[in-house]
Chains A and B, each alone.
Chain A
Amino acid sequence: MSSLLKITDLHVSVEDKPILKGVSLDIRQGETHALMGPNGSGKSTLAYTLVGHPKYEVTSGSIEIDGTPLNELDPCERARLGLFLAFQYPVTIPGVKVADFLRHAVTNIRNPVRKEGEGLIPMRDFRKELKERMEQLGMDIEFARRYLNEGFSGGEKKRMEILQLAMLQPRFAILDETDSGLDSDAVRVVSEGLRKLAGPQMGVLIITHHERLLEYNIPQFTHVMLAGKIVETGDASLAHELHNQGYAAVRQRHPHEAAEEQERQKAAGPGVVVGAH
Chain B
Amino acid sequence: MTTDVPVLEDEIGVGDYQYGFHDPTDKYVFQSRRGLDRAIVEQISEMKSEPKWMREFRLEALDIFFRKPMPSWGGDMSQLDFQNMFYYVKASQGQEKSWDDVPEDIRKTYDRLGIPEAEKKYLAGVKAQYESEVVYGSLQEDLSKQGVIFTDMDSALRDYPDLVREYFSTVIPSADNKFAALNSAVWSGGSFIYVPKGVKIEFPLQAYFRINTQNMGQFERTLIIVDEGASVHYVEGCTAPTYSSDSLHSAVVEILVKRGGRCRYTTIQNWSNNVYNLVTKRAKAYGDSLMEWVDGNLGSRLTMKYPAIYLMEPGARGETLSIAFAGKGQHQDAGAKMVHCAPHTSSRVISKSISKDGGRASYRGLVKATHDAHHCKSNVVCDALILDSHSRSDTYPYIEVNQDNLTIEHEASVSKIAEEQLLYLMSRGMSETEASAMIVTGFIEPLVKELPMEYAVEMNRLIELQMEGSVG
Give A residues with C-beta under 8 Å from B: 51-55, 74-76, 78-80, 84-85, 87, 90-91, 93-96, 100-101, 104-105, 108-109, 112, 115-117, 147-148, 164, 168
Contact = CB atoms under 8 A, between A and B. Distances in A.
A109 B442 CA distance: 21
Contact of B429 (A55, A76, A87, A148): A76
B129 to A, nearest CB: 31
A95 B443 contact: yes
Q: In this complex, which of B419, B428, B429, B444 has the most chain A Cβ atoms within 10 angstroms of its Cβ?
A: B429
Given A96-B441, A116-B434, A101 B428 contact: yes
Instruction: Give the interface size bracket for B toward A.
Output: 20 to 34
A96 B429 contact: no
B372 interface: no
Given A75-B423, A91-B420, A91-B421, A101 B438 contact: yes
Given A94-B443, A108-B431, 6 more contacts: A75-B423, A75-B427, A85-B427, A109-B429, A117-B464, A168-B428
A52 B419 contact: no
B429 to A, nearest CB: 4
Given A55-B419, A101-B438, A104-B438, A93 B424 contact: yes
A253 B431 CA distance: 45
A51 B420 CA distance: 12
B13 to A, nearest CB: 20
B427 A116 contact: no
A93 B464 contact: no
A256 to B, nearest CB: 33
B430 A93 contact: no
Contacts of A52: 423, 426-427
Interface of B is mostly: helix
B35 to A, nearest CB: 44
Given A54-B419, A55-B419, A95-B446, A75 B426 contact: yes
Given A55-B419, A76-B432, A116-B434, A95 B442 contact: yes
Q: In this complex, which of B431, B433, B445 has the most chain A Cβ atoms within 10 angstroms of its Cβ?
A: B431
Nearest to A167: B428
A74 B434 contact: no
Interface of B: 418-421, 423-435, 437-439, 441-446, 464, 468
Nearest to B428: A105
Q: In this complex, which of A54, A96, A147 has the most chain B Cβ atoms within 10 angstroms of its Cβ?
A: A96
A76 B438 contact: no
Contacts of B445: 94-96, 147
B423 A53 contact: yes
B429 A93 contact: no
Nearest to A102: B428
A54 B426 CA distance: 11
Contacts of A105: 428-430
B24 to A, nearest CB: 31
Contacts of A76: 426-427, 429-432, 435
B428 A87 contact: no
Given A74-B432, A91-B421, A116-B431, A96 B442 contact: yes
Nearest to B467: A116
A21 to B, nearest CB: 23
Q: Which 9 A-B pairs have the closest CB atoms?
A: A95-B442, A95-B445, A108-B429, A96-B442, A91-B424, A75-B426, A105-B428, A79-B429, A116-B434
